[in-house]
Amino acid sequence: MSAGRGSRPGGGRGAPARSRTLISDAQLNRARGRLVYRVVLTLVIVVFTLVFIGPLYFLFTDGLKSTQEAVQVPPTLVPHHVHPGTYLDAWRRVGVGRLLVNTLYYAFGALLFQLVFDVAAAYALSRLRPVLGNVIFAMMLATLMIPSTVLVVPQYITVSSLPVLHLNLIGTPEAIWLPSVANAFSIFLLKRFFDSIPGELLAAAAIDGASPLRTLRSVVLPVSRPIIGVVAIFGLVAVWKDFLWPLLVEYGYNPSRETLNVGIYEAAATTPQNLVIAASAMAAVPTLVFFLIFQRNILSGLTAGSLKG
């Protein structure tokens, strides 16, 4: 049941032999049905475009207005005088460039740590099956029941002085990178995928005398590209969108280490409205472009990952 078309590679597109839905094709092919369908389709497209693209339109055009025009009553739909300089001002005053570099550094560092440690752990749990492996996996899954915002206080205190090691990670990128590894959902997705790799493939590698690491590298990883892509995309987006944690561990330590998300919020209080919107627009561009490039992987990964959560 869960092996719906969403989880099949390339499924959904072109939808081979669409099964029927609430309203049958025969019903739609009648003259009245066709008319109603046309009207509904047009309405849906117009309303959805207004609701979802409309705000984005203002996000990008209001940053082109002058400070006076941005707070003018009533607001103008199209900027009377286009001020591309607003974007330049916002870039400088809010320090969007620095925020962007910080965020990229945090996001890709976290991604690297997450891929290395979580893939290795999922592989060990799925294929090497060590003693107590099941207990460890169950304890990892148990963390899914306790969302991280609830633990923010003890996590903050732990990061400010790691037990045993007595390290203070506040203000270091590791304060974002390492906690992102503790992602039970990634490990769950990866393990489930590794479980489905045919045993003969791995046995063949073992016959050739490949070590576990070698098997992981040259047999498991190449066939696991789709799931690793899904985990990577969601890992990146999670760091990019996080707010409270970077606010505490980076901004609280030194405002110059803040992320985009925190940075534009902190700047908003002391910056003219048009610059705030221009900065928000610039902060939105990377993820929007990323989404438009990877939309198929993201949308199919979303359903594949969550349907069997």
Q: Which residue in 64, 110, 187, 220 binds other proteins (CB under 8 A)?
A: 187
Q: For residue 270, count other CB atoms closer than 10 A to its CB.
A: 10
CB of 63 to other proteins, least distance (A): 10
138 binds other proteins (CB under 8 A): no
CB of 257 to other proteins, least distance (A): 16
Q: How far is CA 158 from the centre of its chain?
A: 26
Judged by CB under 8 A, the chain residues 76 through 105 that form the site for other proteins are: none
Contact 243, 262 (CB under 8 A): yes
CA dihedral for 301, 305, 306, 308, sign (positive or negative): positive
Count residues near other proteins (CB under 8 A). 120
Contact 245, 153 (CB under 8 A): no
Q: Which residue in 91, 94, 118, 224 binds other proteins (CB under 8 A)?
A: 118
161 binds other proteins (CB under 8 A): no
57 binds other proteins (CB under 8 A): no
- Give 150 or 225: the residue with its C-beta nearer to other proteins: 150
Of residues 70, 67, 65, 97, the one with CA closest to residue 84: 65
Q: Which residue in 61, 66, 120, 297 binds other proteins (CB under 8 A)?
A: 120
CB of 176 to other proteins, least distance (A): 11
Q: Which residue in 10, 35, 46, 72 binds other proteins (CB under 8 A)?
A: 72
Q: Which residue in 64, 107, 178, 232 binds other proteins (CB under 8 A)?
A: 178
Binding mask 242-271 for other proteins (x = CB under 8 A): -xx---x---x-------xxx-xx--xx--
41 binds other proteins (CB under 8 A): yes
CB of 283 to other proteins, least distance (A): 5
227 binds other proteins (CB under 8 A): no
Measure the CA–CA gap between 231 and 243, rounded to whole angstroms.
20
Measure the CA–CA gap between 239 and 155, rounded to whole angstroms.
16
Q: Between the CA atoms of 240, 245, 247 and 253, what dihedral angle is there, to the nearest 10 degrees?
A: -120
Give one DSSP letter per residue of 81-104, joined into a string.
S--THHHHHHIIIIIHHHHHHHHH
Binding mask 268-297 for other proteins (x = CB under 8 A): xx---x--xx--xx-xx--xx-xxx--x--
Q: Which residues contact 11 (CB under 8 A, 6 or more apart)?
A: 4, 5, 300
Q: Which residue in 170, 237, 238, 272 binds other proteins (CB under 8 A)?
A: 237
What single letter denotes the amino acid at residue 205?
Answer: A
